[in-house]
């Protein structure tokens, strides 16, 4: 298995480096040319001012019309100079902001690359002995009487070991490089399969689900298995956020402007602050007591591989809406 650092992120980092370099060069070029442009404008204005002085000296011999036109021209030139300077300054600021954002993205991508390599290495080192532990626990349980007081201790150890196994599995999912096997698929089918996979969680929390279809053909070129994983992660996140007895609404809609299909999951949970929204796709970030904060990070990777995206809207006390957006056709999906 190739690590995350040797795959998708390395390519992204290289593209970011090139784009950052081009923007930096353009920024420096604009900065270098700005004084020259200012000097040219000032020189032109000075020439017109001098000409205006000559016209004023000859005022007694000339009509008012040329003088008035020169005054008007001088005013226009002054406003032009101001506008040019404002425009250049705004452009420099935009370029500077863009370079800053790209540098942040580059640093984040480098961090993800290193994290992916560490995750893969740690997960593989833990997985083998953990499997041996689980197998040994199973053997021990078969050798003991069901009424043995030590059985409860073994059950507790077994349960915690299974949690560790799940963490290892999530780490490997995060480090994986996703290559979707695209087929033209009905997204409602994937939604229903995802609901089946979280059925017990919904029942336990007494959460009702309402599916509303708003498009005749809610189809897109997707990898159904990977998309089911995305929907499942989002559903588990919503279930964890919702109070007992609440509702999750799912909307399938056509997004004509983007030539895309959207699947929105709206919950009645506690909602998120602006600070939480800014971090929900970061690996290992979680505001919950359960989980390790990789579900949404993995989901974002899968959607990036589909050339799609996840939009999130939320506010404290107002629930959250996760909208998963898919390009309709394979032609829209990055190779």
**Same domain for 32 and 81?**
yes
Q: What is the mean pLDDT of each run of 10 residues along the chain (335 residues)?
A: 47 62 67 67 66 56 54 63 63 66 63 61 70 81 80 82 73 73 94 95 94 92 94 93 94 88 95 90 70 79 92 93 88 47
Q: How far apart are CA 161 and CA 133, in angstroms?
A: 8
Q: What is the DSSP string of 286-315?
A: -SSSSS-S-HHHHHHHHHHHTT-EEEEEE-
Q: How far apart are CA 120 and CA 125, in angstroms?
A: 9
**Same domain for 2 and 144?**
yes
**Same domain for 314 and 264?**
yes
C-alpha dihedral (146, 148, 152, 158), degrees to nearest 10: -70
Contacts of 117 (CB under 8 A, 6+ apart): 3, 4, 5, 6, 175
Strand extents, DSSP E, the chain? 183-186, 208-213, 219-222, 247-255, 260-267, 309-314, 320-327
**Same domain for 170 and 219?**
no
**Same domain for 2 and 87?**
yes
Contacts of 161 (CB under 8 A, 6+ apart): 130, 133, 134, 137
Q: Is the dihedral of CA 226, 227, 229, 233 positive or negative?
A: positive
Helix (H, G, I), strand (E, B) or coil at 216: coil
The pLDDT value given to residue 111:
61
**Same domain for 203 and 157?**
no
Asked if 220 contacts 278 with a C-beta cutoff of 8 angstroms, the reply is no
Can you list the pairs that 61-70 forms with residues at least 24 positions away whose Cβ atoms lie under 8 Å?
none
**Same domain for 29 and 142?**
yes
The pLDDT value given to residue 292:
61
For residue 162, the enclosing domain spans 1-177
- What CATH number did the domain enclosing 322 receive? 3.30.565.10
**Same domain for 207 and 317?**
yes
**Same domain for 169 and 194?**
no
**Same domain for 32 and 46?**
yes
Going by C-alpha positions, the residue among 145, 304, 322 that lies closest to residue 249 is: 322
- The domain total for the chain is 2
**Same domain for 206 and 143?**
no
**Which residue among 177, 197, 229 closes a domain?**
177
Going by C-alpha positions, the residue among 67, 51, 49, 48 that lies closest to residue 59 is: 67
Question: Do the bridges between strand 247-255 and strand 208-213 make them parallel or antiparallel, or are there none, so unpaired?
Answer: parallel
**Same domain for 171 and 210?**
no
Going by C-alpha positions, the residue among 165, 156, 163 that lies closest to residue 126 is: 165
**Which residue among 177, 199, 222 closes a domain?**
177
Half-sphere exposure of 157 (CA within 13 A, CB side): 14
Half-sphere exposure of 44 (CA within 13 A, CB side): 15
**Which residue among 153, 177, 201 closes a domain?**
177
The pLDDT value given to residue 1:
41
The pLDDT value given to residue 3:
43
Q: Please report, for residues 42, 93, 94, the alpha-carbon distance to residue 86 in angstroms, rounded to integers and kept in the order given.
A: 15, 11, 12
């Amino acid at each position: 298995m190739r690590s995350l650092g040797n795959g998708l992120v390395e390519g992204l980092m290289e593209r970011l480096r090139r784009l950052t370099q081009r923007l930096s060069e353009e920024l420096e070029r604009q900065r270098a040319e700005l004084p020259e442009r200012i000097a040219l404008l000032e020189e032109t204005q000075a020439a017109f001012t001098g000409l205006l002085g000559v016209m004023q000296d000859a005022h007694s011999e000339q009509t008012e019309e040329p003088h008035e036109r020169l005054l008007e021209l001088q005013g226009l030139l002054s406003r032009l100079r101001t506008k040019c300077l404002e425009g250049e300054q705004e452009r420099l600021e935009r370029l500077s902001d863009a370079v800053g954002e790209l540098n942040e993205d580059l640093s984040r991508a480098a961090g993800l690359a290193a994290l992916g390599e560490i995750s893969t290495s740690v997960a593989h080192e833990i997985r083998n002995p953990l499997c041996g532990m689980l197998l040994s626990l199973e053997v021990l349980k078969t050798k003991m009487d069901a009424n043995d007081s030590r059985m409860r201790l073994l059950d507790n150890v077994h349960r915690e070991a299974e949690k560790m196994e799940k963490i290892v599995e999530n780490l490997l999912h995060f480090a994986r490089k996703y290559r979707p096997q695209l087929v033209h698929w009905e997204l409602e089918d994937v939604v229903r399969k995802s609901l089946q996979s979280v059925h017990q969680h919904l029942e336990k929390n007494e959460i009702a689900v309402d599916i509303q279809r708003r498009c005749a053909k809610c189809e897109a070129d997707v990898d159904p298995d990977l998309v089911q994983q995305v929907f499942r992660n989002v559903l588990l996140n919503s279930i964890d956020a919702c109070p007992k007895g609440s509702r999750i609404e799912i909307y399938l809609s056509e997004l004509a402007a983007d030539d895309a299909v959207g699947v929105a999951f709206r919950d009645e949970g506690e909602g998120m602050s602006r600070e939480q929204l800014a971090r929900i796709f970061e690996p290992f970030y979680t505001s919950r007591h359960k989980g390790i904060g990789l579900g949404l990070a993995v989901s974002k990777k899968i959607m990036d591989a589909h050339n799609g995206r996840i939009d999130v809207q939320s506010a404290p006390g107002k629930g959250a809406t996760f909208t998963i957006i898919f390009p309709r056709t394979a032609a829209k999906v990055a190779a």
